[in-house]
Amino acid sequence: MAPCRRRLEGARGVQPVYRLVGKQTMQLKNPCKYLPRYKGESWIKASLPAQGQVWMLGKQRSVKKDKYHSAAYVQEMRKAIGQEPWKWPKRTLYFISDMHADADAFMASLVASGGVKKTGPRDKDFKLARAGRTGRFIIGGDCFDKGPSTLRLLQLIRLLIDRGGDVQLLAGNHDIRMMLGIKTVGMEPDPRTDHFFIRMGPKMVPFLSEIRDRYLQGKNALRGIPGTRECRRLLYPPKSWFREFPQLAAWSMPDSTIEREVQKLRKKLKLFEEDCEKAGLSLRMVYAAAKKWQELFLQSKGEYAWFYKQMKLACREGSFIFVHAGIDDRAARLISEKGMRHINRKFRKQLHRDPFDFYYGPMANIIRTKYRPIDMPLTRQGVKLLRKKSGVHAIVHGHRNLLHGQRVMLRKGIVNFECDTTLDRNSRKKEGLEGQGAAVTIFRPEGLVMGVSTDYPYIKVFEPAAISVRP
């Protein structure tokens, strides 16, 4: 098949060319027409790819397999895809994950989706394109921490919703850790959760500073706030915590995990006030910022109350499960026996009524796993439950940051789309990545998955139907 060309509105440089290289073929006719059409690209700083490439041709930068898969990539991929046709979403899905308080990276990712047209330099200067009005945006978690402004990012997400975007928010470990940590401030003492605030450590200091700068200015900012000694008592776990927590936690976690929690807290206790002082935060201001956060996010009429109200732990579209981090055997069994609605109801119940049970129980592994030996495992039995009983063919997640765009990972016989592409500017600087981050993973009803990223020169195109056909 000869390469096909089409113009992208607002695209810079070379016009997009969809090349079918080597022996790789596509089942769809004229596949180039499904590539995203960037609108308003001149208003973002990210450099977006202008050509498509069959995903498998990216080799080690696009595909990986665990030790369970020992044969050649194409053979293992064909086996993981299976002979049964995948069930595709009825509308186009745009998955964007791990923005980490970087609104500019999020806006650039929206432009990369083709679902949003940027019309000017301000955050509010955008509108939904036709593709965005008919599609759905799934935000894969981790809006908090690392980047320059969490509040600005959340305001941009709210603008997208208010302008008609169908947006589904998924829980990330940073989002939930922040919520649980600050929620416990001022609560009745409980050795199981008294440490949640300090456990966040230095990662929460920039956001507390942002709350101070936005809402706690002027001579009356600390009116009604207790003195330093009382604030320390309200923020810190009591000394008895180091004795009581291991006893109460023994029934729900192994000794090694308990010891790791205790050691982490000892370290963070030593550094917390030092980190606050560096940021110009007194303990009274820290307490005031935490209480203001509760008002903004947890009270029913709070400015950002919508964020956690609309959040789910997982969602399913066709043969795809979307989560922040991953799935283990226990989650696979819950999905196969109870379904996604049950999981999300249980998530909300535990989050608000039993935060300890959630954070140290099986549900939290969905937002925290990195498939390490210390994590709850996903085995072939769990994959069998997902595929045979539930009809799930792929897990879509973020959480583990990559440096060359999205990656297809074969894990215990099931396809994983790994979509954390290191978007926020501070993480990019730390990883040695140049330029502004932008990325979106697109799921088309026609049977295509496309990975757009500033860190890979092509739009990666994955068509299971083409791979499953033997030459």
Number of H helices, E strands in the chain: 19, 18
pLDDT of amino acid 357? 87
pLDDT of amino acid 259? 94
Residue of 205, 199, 139, 189 lying closest to 169 (CA atoms): 139
Final residue belonging to a domain, choices 272, 297, 322: 297
Residue 420 CA: distances (Å) to CA of 77, 200, 239: 21, 22, 39
Structural domain span for residue 166:
4-171+313-468
User: Which two three-digit tokens encode residue 165?
Assistant: 């975007």
Residues 28 and 116 in one domain: yes
Residue 318 within any structural domain of the chain = yes
Burial degree of 231 (CB within 10 A; 0-12, 13-18, 19+): buried
Residues 153 and 180 in one domain: no
List average pLDDT for each run of 10 residues in the chain, which is 471 residues long. 36 41 56 90 95 88 83 85 92 98 98 98 97 98 94 98 98 95 91 93 90 94 95 94 93 88 92 91 96 96 96 97 96 93 94 87 90 89 91 96 96 96 97 97 96 96 82 56
Residue 256 CA to residue 373 CA, distance in Å, equals: 13
pLDDT of amino acid 334? 93
Q: Which CATH number does the domain housing residue 128 bear?
A: 3.60.21
pLDDT of amino acid 286? 96
pLDDT of amino acid 309? 95
Number of structural domains (the chain) is 2
Global pTM value: 0.92
Beta-carbon contacts of 111 under 8 Å, excluding residues fewer than 6 positions away, are: 38, 39, 40, 41, 43, 44, 46, 48, 117, 118, 438
Residues 403 and 454 in one domain: yes
Report the b/e string of 351-371 with b at 16+ CB within 10 A.
beeebbbbbbbbbbbbbbbeb
pLDDT of amino acid 29? 64
> Can you say whether residue 435 is alpha, beta or left, with left for phi > 0 and alpha for psi between -120 and 50 degrees?
left
Residue 78 within any structural domain of the chain = yes
